[in-house]
Structure 1
Amino acid sequence: METIQSMFKHVHWANQRILETLQNGAVENKQANNLFSHILHAENVWFTRIKGNDSSQLPIWEEVGLDTCVELVKQNNHNFTGFLSNLANSELDQLVSYKNSKGTEFHNSIREILTHVALHGQYHRGQINQLLRIADLEPINVDFITFKR
């Protein structure tokens, strides 16, 4: 449980760093902004699924501005922090039934879903950093080990 809680502290830290970088960019990078909003929407979708609620009407690739991203970062952190603070280690292997965006039903453990959320965001933050570098903007170090240092 300690590792998962640490991963989600890292998720929030990394999201904050990417957000600040996008806000301070010399020019708007629409692709980077869209990838970042996708990370945040996906976090919300997975949280909704973990809570046993229907996520079929939630956006995954909706284009939103950075002001909305600020709110999504806060809300997702609040949701996951609260959820994890009340989650017992014994509940991590509890199965969650959900439908993906195409309506196909799946079953995964809370542990698997939480791991996916952390890894999914890190994958897309890497893509954002590549786009920043292409645009001659300084990428931001969001490595887990940097966070832990």
Structure 2
Amino acid sequence: METIRNMFEHLHWSNQRILETLQNTESENEQINRLFSHILLAEQVWLTRLKGSDSSNLPIWAEVSLKACAEMANRNNQYFKKFLSSLTDPALEQIVTYRNSKGIEFNNSVRDILTHVALHGQYHRGQINQLLRANGSEPVILDYIIFKR
């Protein structure tokens, strides 16, 4: 359980660092903003599924302002903190049945879903860093060990 909680603390820390960088960048980059909002929207989708609710009407790609992203990042963090605070080790092995955006049904453990959420965001934050560098900005250091230091 501790590893999962650490992963989500790192996820929030990483989202905040990306957000601060985007807020301090002189010119907005549509592709970067789209990737960042995708991370946050996907977090919402997975949290909805973890709660046992239907996520089929939730977008995973959308044009979202940076201000809305900031609000979403904080809201997601609060929801995941609450979800994780009541989670036990045995509950990590519970199977969640959900439908993807195409209506196909899948079954995965809570542990696998939470691991996916953390890794999915890190993958796309890497893409954001690549785009930042290509646009002449310094990439954001998001390494887990830096977070733990």
Taking structure 1 as the reference length, what is the TM-score of the superposition? Answer: 0.99
Deviation at residue 25 of structure 1 after TM alignment = 0.5
Amino acid of the structure 2 residue aligned with 1:97:
T
- Residue number in structure 2 paired with 1:148: 148
Amino acid at match of 2:63: E
SS in 2 for 1:78: helix
In the TM superposition, what is the alpha-carbon distance from 1:29 to its structure 2 partner?
A: 1.0
* Offset, 1:110: 0.2
Paired residue secondary structure (1:98): strand
What is the distance in 1 between the residues matched to 2:34 and 2:148? Answer: 28
Provide the residue aligned with 2:54 in structure 1.
54
1:26 deviation in Å? 1.7
Matched residue, 1:9: 9
Alpha-carbon offset, residue 27 of structure 1: 1.1
TM-score when normalising by structure 2: 0.99
2:118 matched to which residue of 1? 118
Query: What amino acid is the match of 1:70?
Result: A
Please state whether the residue corresponding to 1:92 is helix, strand or coil. helix
> Tell me, what secondary structure is at the counterpart of 1:96?
strand
Q: What amino acid maps onto 1:10 in structure 2?
A: H
Over 4 Å off, 4+ runs: none
Calculate the aligned-residue CA RMSD, in Å. Answer: 0.5
Give the aligned partner of residue 43 of structure 1. Answer: 43
CA-to-aligned-CA distance 1:40-95 (integer Å, 9 cap, x gap): 00000000000000000001001101010011001100010000000011100000
Return the letter of the residue paired with 2:64: V
Equivalences for residues 92-103 of structure 1 within 5 A: 92-103=92-103
How many residues align structurally? 149
Offset of residue 138 of structure 1: 1.1
Alignment gaps of 5+ in structure 2: none
Letter in 2 for 1:21: T
Distance 1:65 1:138 in 2: 22
Percent same amino acid at aligned positions?
65
Structure 1: segments with no counterpart, 5+ residues = none
Equivalent residue letter for 2:57? Q
Cα displacement (A) at 1:98: 0.1
